[in-house]
Amino acid sequence: MPITKSAKKAMNRSQKLAVRNRDFKIRMKMAMKKFTKAVSKGEKIEATELSYIQKRIDKCLKVGILKSRNASRKKARMAKMFHNAQQKIK
């Protein structure tokens, strides 16, 4: 357990940030999972769904949950999946 006042404040801050980070990460992962399931089922996907996922990934990048290359890799994979799904529908 922390002894000094500043250590107690740091622990509280760390716990609050961990909860916030978990929330952002879960939202991003759930959106990606929903998108990939729709693609695998062959459902029609709109571009707004892709932009929503990219928005979630960008927010995680901004907050500091993801690193830049990791975020760009996730966005590229989702975009590739979207474009492949659009080609199959046509």
pLDDT at 4 over 80: yes
Local structure of residue 65 (DSSP, 8 states): S
Nearest to 54 by CA among 38, 76, 33, 34: 76
Taking only Cα atoms into account, the Rg of the chain, rounded to an integer number of angstroms, comes to 18
Strands of 1-90 (E only): list them.
none
Single pTM value for the model: 0.86
Angle at 41 between CA 35 and CA 42, to 5 degrees: 90
pLDDT of amino acid 89: 76
Q: What is the mean pLDDT of residues 64-82?
A: 96
Local structure of residue 46 (DSSP, 8 states): -
Q: Which pair of tokens denotes residue 4?
A: 């000094």
Per-residue pLDDT band at 12 (split at 50, 70, 90):
very high
